[in-house]
Amino acid sequence: MIASLRTPRGLVTALLLLVLAVLPLLTQAFDQRYLLSIGTRIVIWAIAAISLNMILGYGGLVSFGHAVFFGIGGYAVGILSHHGVQSGSVQWPVGIVAAALWAALIGALSLRTRGLYFIMITLAFAQLVYYVSAGLEAYGADDGLNISRSRFPGLIDLRDKASFYWLCFALLGGTLWFCSRFAISRFGLVIRGAKSNDLRMTALGFPVFRYRLAAFTLSGAFGGLAGILLANEGAYISPAMMSWVKSGDLIVIVVLGGMGTLFGPLYGTIAFFVLEESLPPLLDLGRKGWGEYWQIVFGPMLVLIALYAKGGIDSLFGRRHG
């Protein structure tokens, strides 16, 4: 799965995974509780980024509404919790299935379109869900809703930050494993082939639309999982979870990390969060007060990456072997 530890890519990735695996112990030792919260969010966003990578990175489908799955997973948990259904073993499957169903629905409609229209229609469907949740008075509308965390009696207490983190980390591992299988499976190869040339794939006899729809649905399911975790992380849901800016952030993360690579989304997520936390103090070092305007640097960085560094962080490790 991982490239040999002798390659730079393999070494760095293994190190990252190791640090992530023991993060709660590290933050405990250095009394940096806040870093564990950030770490948890990184892991959750990485899961969402991997799910987007499946269709964007491997499939070339520019879906601009992926944050909607954060919202569907999160609201499924939140609404059920609000109505007294606290059990995670009920909430979580409902959330994942709801996200998958929505993905299947909008996939069926959107995948018939191409280019600009596809981007717009995925964005529009995300906005639709956003506005529906912003209109639901009963669940807080724009103000959002405080919820209790999912209960898994006897198994795990999600209120314990370390336990919750490890659960997220384990799920990240599972998602990575799934993605690695996907990438080399026949299914994945069809998706990847269709990215380069879908006419050719169709000529070869593959029903490209159906394959893409399936990939879209899976991608939505994992996105929903990330949403469920996000809702539990903050014990709070709000329409802001699925704002289109977040969808844009996810695209940035996937490209930044390296599209169509296994660990690219992870690199991208870490880089994104690290940049967000470290650019301000770095700029402040240059001159006090500049740190506030870090996006003046980050914005053009994105432009440059789009123009000159499409390979992302993964490409920094040099060519892949095999």
Partner 1 sequence: MDYLLLQVLNGVQLGLLMFLLAAGLTLTFGIMDLVNLAHGSLYMMGAYIAWTLIGWTDSFMLGALLALPATFLLGVAVEALVMRRLYARDHLDQVLATFGLILFFNELVRAVWGPAGKSIAVPGFLARTVEILPGVPYPAYRFAIIVAGAAVAALLAWLVARTRLGMLIRAGASNRRMIGALGVNIELLFTLVFGLGAVFAGLAGLMAAPLSSVKIGMGDDILIVAFVIIVIGGIGSIKGAFVAAMVVGQIDIVGRAFLPDFLKTFLSTSAASSAAPAISQVLIYIVMAGVLVWRPTGLFGQRS
Partner 2 sequence: MNGKLLGAATIAALVVGLQPASAQAPIKIGFISTFSGPQAAIGEDMRRSVELAKEHLGGKMGGKPFEIVYEDDQFKPDVGKQKSEKLVQQDKVNVVAGYIWSNVLLASLKTVTDEGDTILISANAGPSQIAGELCNKNFFSTSWQNDQTPMAMGEYLNTKGVKSLYLMGPNYAAGKDMLAGVRRTYKGKLIGEDFTKWPDQLDFSAELAKIAAAKPEGIFIFYPGAHGVQFVKQWAQSGLNKTVPLYQVFSIDAITLPQQGELALGTLGAQEWVNDLPNEQNKRYVADFKKKHGVYPSYYGAQSYDAIMLIASAAEALKGDLSSKDKVRAELKKANFKSLRGGFKYNTNNFPIENFYIQETVKDPQGVMTVKTIATAVKDAKDSYYEKCPMK
- Positions that interact with partner 1 (CB under 8 A): 56, 62, 64, 109, 112-113, 115-117, 119-121, 123-125, 127-128, 131-132, 134-138, 141-142, 244-245, 248, 251-252, 255, 292-296, 298-303, 305-307, 310
Residue 128 binding result from partner 1, partner 2, none, given CB thresholds of 5 to 8 Å by partner type? partner 1
Question: What is the rounded CA–CA span in Å between residue 3 and residue 164?
Answer: 29
Residue 124 binding result from partner 2, partner 1, none, given CB thresholds of 5 to 8 Å by partner type? partner 1
Q: Which residues bind partner 2 (CB under 8 A)?
A: 8, 12, 30-35, 37, 141-144, 146, 234-236, 238, 240-241, 274-275, 277-278, 281-282, 313, 316-318
Residue 119 binding result from partner 2, partner 1, none, given CB thresholds of 5 to 8 Å by partner type? partner 1
- If the CB atoms of residues 114 and 319 are measured against partner 2, the closer one turns out to be 319
- If the CB atoms of residues 175 and 238 are measured against partner 2, the closer one turns out to be 238
- Report how far apart, in Å, the C-alpha atoms of 73 and of each of 69, 103, 208, 228, 232 are: 6, 12, 28, 5, 10
Q: List all residues 6 or more positions away from 47 whose beta carbon is below 8 Å from its beta carbon.
A: 168, 171, 172, 175, 222, 225, 226, 229
DSSP string across 82-125: HTT--BHHHHHHHHHHHHHHHHHHHHHHHTTS-HHHHHHHHHHH
- If the CB atoms of residues 30 and 116 are measured against partner 2, the closer one turns out to be 30
Asked if residues 69 and 181 have their Cβ atoms less than 8 Å apart, the reply is no
- If the CB atoms of residues 64 and 216 are measured against partner 1, the closer one turns out to be 64
* b/e 17-33 (16+ beta carbons within 10 angstroms → b): beebeebbeebeeeeee
Residue 123 binding result from partner 1, partner 2, none, given CB thresholds of 5 to 8 Å by partner type? partner 1
